Structure 1
Amino acid sequence: MTMQKKDTASTKVTIHPITRTLAPIVPLAIALLHGAVTNHSVSTPNPSVTSPTAVESGAMVCGGSQNSAGCIAPSPLIAAGHPVDWWFVFKLNSQSFPQCGNGDTRTCPFDAGRSPTSTFSHFGQQYVFASSEHPSLQDGGQQCLGTTTEDPLGSTFDEIYKGKFHYVVWNDQPYEDPALKCGNSISCSGPWGHSKGILAWNDVGNGMVMQVSTPDWPLSGSVAHPRKSDGNTLGCTKDNNVKVSQHFFALRLTKSDLIAVLQGMSNASVVTDPNDLQVVSNGGPSDVQRLVSSLGVQSKAAEPLTGTLSTGIELISKPSRLTVPPWQMVSSLLGGASLHVANWWTNPDKLASTTAANSTAITCWDKSLSAPGPVENATTGTWKGVAFGLLGGDNPNGNHAKVGVSTSGHERYTIFGDMNQEGSYDGPDCSVSQNGRGGMFYVLSNAQLSASVSDLIGASSPAQ
């Protein structure tokens, strides 16, 4: 079953149809049910999309037992031994929420003999999180985020880093470890994708993806191939990626989901190296291996990819050659939904918030896309009565997370993205900044999550 073009004739907010769709995602019965519930249409498979060449069964691939090492799949964990379909973590900034909860002490569990970076004048690893089990945000407790097997980030990374899985790590800000081939191995510029994350899977192709907003982490997928000159633990790196707010989103994947995410990564021109075991350990089904081998090059695509994963979560991939404002593109593909977005919003290329009156006055646009709705940039958030900044900027009150919510329509979308609201609305250079870069977005339709994240980032509730 291939990804579907969406029905724009529905009265509900739907995904705008585009020319390209992603690879097989959901079984037909599930897809038909999804179509019935949301008024999304279900079409025939798209012959232009790569499909699996054979049925890859557990017996064929990993030894005939679901408990064999190659059959055990990595999953998003909210704590060691506690898997969920998805989780979202928002790391709060170091001005309003300094250090760690209840005075917990920073450590570097993935770096033998390494101490937390002492030169950080400000750091904050307090966090809030939600999951498929509990979609409303809750306090992260006393742990320093990313440093224990009791927090979602630390337990999930521990599972991958100390496991025996296949993986791809990508990050456009690698700080020279490894020295990825992108023109500047400290921080890669366009048309490379503005995207960061880690993907892990077993011999059958089941696994998970974790989107991150942090420069300089993660940049190794295995304890057998650690970084040579930098840290493997959040907060133990050369770059202070725990000063400002950051976000992390982890999602369980079937093999078909894995193929779709890999296609989205390729379309977005993510920065990685299939020949470097520090960031890529290829394996599993042959069609997966082919897609992994093709990563680390700049895509020639100029159309977005969209699709619905087996969890019902929508995936959107923007290519660098689609030179449009990133979050206006997302709005368009969500039926023109109004969005409220927290991102690294700063000069010199920050895009002003738009309203219903001027949301369509954009000349850096593509005729394949329908008109976007208003996109408002978040400036201040609140957690338990404590305000924190959501503007970009290298300061303790800054924000580097990329999180949005819909503020119109019937659907209650929460969007986790790679990209900032920076670029140009009217040129003359429409490829400037994020307009000319690729990235991915995960869209969840969940009223509880949307309400909770809306409160966090200062968004008003959608009009009824």
Structure 2
Amino acid sequence: MRRAKFCIQLFLLFLVVSFFPAQFSGQGTQTAPSPLWSANHPVDWWFAFKFNAETFPRPTTSVPACMFGGTPGGTRKYTRIGQSYVAASSEHAALAKGPGYLGDSLADPVGATFDEVYNGDLSYIVWNDQFYRSPVLACEGSSAVECGAKWGHSKGMLAWNDDGNGFILQVTTPSWPGAGNSANPRAGDGNSLGCVNDDDVDLSQGFFALKLTKDDLLKVLAALQTEGAVTDPSNPQIAKIGGPQEAKDAAAKLGSPNTTSTFTQATLSSGVQVIAKAGGLAAPPWQFVSAVLGKVPLRVATFWQGALIYSTPGRTKPDCWPTALQSLSPGTVQIVKTGIWDGTTIGLTGTSQKDASGNSLGANHAKIGVSTGSGSPLTIFADMNQDGAISPVGKLTCSSSQNARGGLFFVVENEDLHKSVTALLTGKYAPSKAPAATRTAGTTSAATH
């Protein structure tokens, strides 16, 4: 009788362990959050490129949904709205035209992924050097509307559960997102693409989301500290800090510029690399990335405007090359001016250009790079512009513009993704030297988008 009872107990225990394995494995019980391709469709990563309003405009009869707050076109009533997009994911790594309009519903990756946090119960922290005083941050003076030199130029959101599993959403949009959860909605501005007071949907923009383990989360938090992410962990509008104690401690350290001449490089569990540049590391941003990756030649599209850094060969180190990088050398860095999608030429600089027929090509604010050599097929998603100085000349110094800003770079090795992003960035590119007048006078003015 006892033996029969013992056998029954073992059988019942077997059933419990089979149906609830996480309870007995030492792992957390929560379902790990993931980037969403659409509602209830998790993926390991996705990338979306939103076209500018001049080349792929949203019809004037179609109004942004503003499902996270705001009014269509913002209070400035932008009439040119570009939310058409192409996207790729871990399930289909080649770029393809996406349905609907980006950030407009739960059927697109930005809308679905942001909704997971905004209308969920995850811990989060949001950073953006251009909140435009919504919320007000300590780094903004009485007249300033954004945080300047030495601070990180990155923008995005990190979200995680009680076990420390989560994802990062890197964006290039000034002023979006400006609140992380509906419990503390944004005051003073909108919180949806197409519904904020900045020109986010006029220019092209880039968005990258990546699934993170607890160890990955800690590495990304460390990278955010290195680059000097502009945030405030004590402000509930942009931060809700919970989960493992290590994550709480790391998040609490955010919100200060990093004026040291440092950088970090880490490989995440997905194989994706994250590189962080401190604001005190005064170096041309994309030459820095090329050097850290082992002299990899790059083709780069950014908000190229102001203190322009032109295409550079990889034969010598720039004059603006800090001591911390002396053991490294950059490869060739080529600046893309135009790209192409579905037979349409698009502008890939910070100023709208015209094609041979006089049509406007629009402007770009995404920051994307691809490797161009015979090595690994690398695609880089970032938040730094190729603006600053290679050498001191005129009014330019090695600390001009983005040379002295912090930033993040996520490096993905995937052949299909690389092939399709390379095709998107195919077009005219900048020469290796600025026009003579520019080289002589120099400039320190540069839009900080």
What TM-score do the two structures reach when normalised by structure 1?
A: 0.81
Corresponding residue for residue 82 of structure 1: 41
Tell me the alpha carbon deviations over residues 166-203 of structure 1, each in whole angstroms, 9 at most, x when there is no partner.
00000000011000121345222111110100000000
Corresponding residue for residue 332 of structure 1: 291
Corresponding residue for residue 281 of structure 1: 240
What amino acid does structure 1 have at the position aligned with 2:222? Q
Corresponding residue for residue 42 of structure 1: none
Measure how far apart 1:91 and its partner are: 0.3
- Larger radius of gyration between Structure 1 and Structure 2: 2
Alignment of 1:290-309 (within 5 A): 290-309=249-268
Alignment of 1:4-403 (within 5 A): 66=29, 71-99=30-58, 104-111=62-69, 114-117=71-74, 119-141=77-99, 143-184=100-141, 186-347=145-306, 349-356=307-314, 359-369=315-325, 370-393=328-351, 397-403=362-368
Corresponding residue for residue 7 of structure 2: none
On the 8 A contact 2:340/2:427 being kept in 1, the answer is: no
Larger mean Cα displacement after TM superposition, 156-165 or 364-373: 364-373
What amino acid does structure 1 have at the position aligned with 2:410? Y
| Aligned-partner Cα distance in 2 for 1:99–1:189 | 33
Matched, 1:436 2:404: yes
Going from structure 1 to structure 2, the CA distance change for 1:106 and 1:92 (only over 3 Å counts) comes to same
| Aligned-partner Cα distance in 2 for 1:103–1:149 | 21
What amino acid does structure 1 have at the position aligned with 2:66? C
Corresponding residue for residue 447 of structure 1: 415
* Gapped regions of structure 1 (runs ≥ 5): 1-57
| Aligned-partner Cα distance in 1 for 2:295–2:368 | 17
Corresponding residue for residue 417 of structure 1: 382
| Aligned-partner Cα distance in 1 for 2:216–2:259 | 23
| Aligned-partner Cα distance in 1 for 2:61–2:343 | 20
* Gapped regions of structure 2 (runs ≥ 5): 1-21, 354-360, 429-449
Measure how far apart 1:350 and its partner are: 0.9
Measure how far apart 1:368 and its partner are: 3.7
Tell me the alpha carbon deviations over residues 404-425 of structure 1, each in whole angstroms, 9 at most, x when there is no partner.
0000132010000110001111
On the 8 A contact 2:36/2:42 being kept in 1, the answer is: yes
Corresponding residue for residue 20 of structure 1: none
Tell me the alpha carbon deviations over residues 296-332 of structure 1, each in whole angstroms, 9 at most, x when there is no partner.
0122432210011000001100001110001001000
On the 8 A contact 1:407/1:459 being kept in 2, the answer is: no
| Aligned-partner Cα distance in 2 for 1:416–1:87 | 11
Tell me the alpha carbon deviations over residues 325-367 of structure 1, each in whole angstroms, 9 at most, x when there is no partner.
01001000111111000000012x11011124xx525111034
Measure how far apart 1:393 and its partner are: 2.7
On the 8 A contact 1:244/1:394 being kept in 2, the answer is: no
On the 8 A contact 1:173/1:187 being kept in 2, the answer is: yes
What amino acid does structure 1 have at the position aligned with 2:402? Q
What amino acid does structure 2 have at the position aligned with 1:221? G
On the 8 A contact 1:107/1:116 being kept in 2, the answer is: no
What amino acid does structure 1 have at the position aligned with 2:336? A
Q: Give the secondary structure class of the aligned counterpart of 2:418.
A: helix
Going from structure 1 to structure 2, the CA distance change for 1:437 and 1:343 (only over 3 Å counts) comes to same
| Aligned-partner Cα distance in 1 for 2:84–2:212 | 28
On the 8 A contact 1:87/1:250 being kept in 2, the answer is: yes
| Aligned-partner Cα distance in 2 for 1:146–1:171 | 18
On the 8 A contact 2:46/2:88 being kept in 1, the answer is: yes
On the 8 A contact 1:320/1:437 being kept in 2, the answer is: yes
On the 8 A contact 2:317/2:329 being kept in 1, the answer is: no
On the 8 A contact 1:301/1:319 being kept in 2, the answer is: yes
Aligned residues: 392
Tell me the alpha carbon deviations over residues 255-285 of structure 1, each in whole angstroms, 9 at most, x when there is no partner.
0000000000000001000110001101111
Measure how far apart 1:459 and its partner are: 6.7
Corresponding residue for residue 5 of structure 2: none
**How large is the Cα RMSD of the aligned pairs?**
2.2
Measure how far apart 1:394 and its partner are: 7.1
| Aligned-partner Cα distance in 1 for 2:48–2:246 | 32
On the 8 A contact 2:72/2:194 being kept in 1, the answer is: no
On the 8 A contact 2:259/2:281 being kept in 1, the answer is: no
| Aligned-partner Cα distance in 1 for 2:321–2:136 | 34
Measure how far apart 1:84 and its partner are: 0.5
On the 8 A contact 1:201/1:207 being kept in 2, the answer is: yes
What amino acid does structure 1 have at the position aligned with 2:173? T
On the 8 A contact 1:306/1:315 being kept in 2, the answer is: yes
Measure how far apart 1:429 and its partner are: 2.2
Tell me the alpha carbon deviations over residues 3-37 of structure 1, each in whole angstroms, 9 at most, x when there is no partner.
xxxxxxxxxxxxxxxxxxxxxxxxxxxxxxxxxxx
On the 8 A contact 2:338/2:427 being kept in 1, the answer is: no
On the 8 A contact 1:108/1:116 being kept in 2, the answer is: no
Measure how far apart 1:59 and its partner are: 6.3
Measure how far apart 1:144 and its partner are: 1.7
What amino acid does structure 1 have at the position aligned with 2:347? G
| Aligned-partner Cα distance in 1 for 2:28–2:291 | 45
| Aligned-partner Cα distance in 1 for 2:23–2:231 | 31
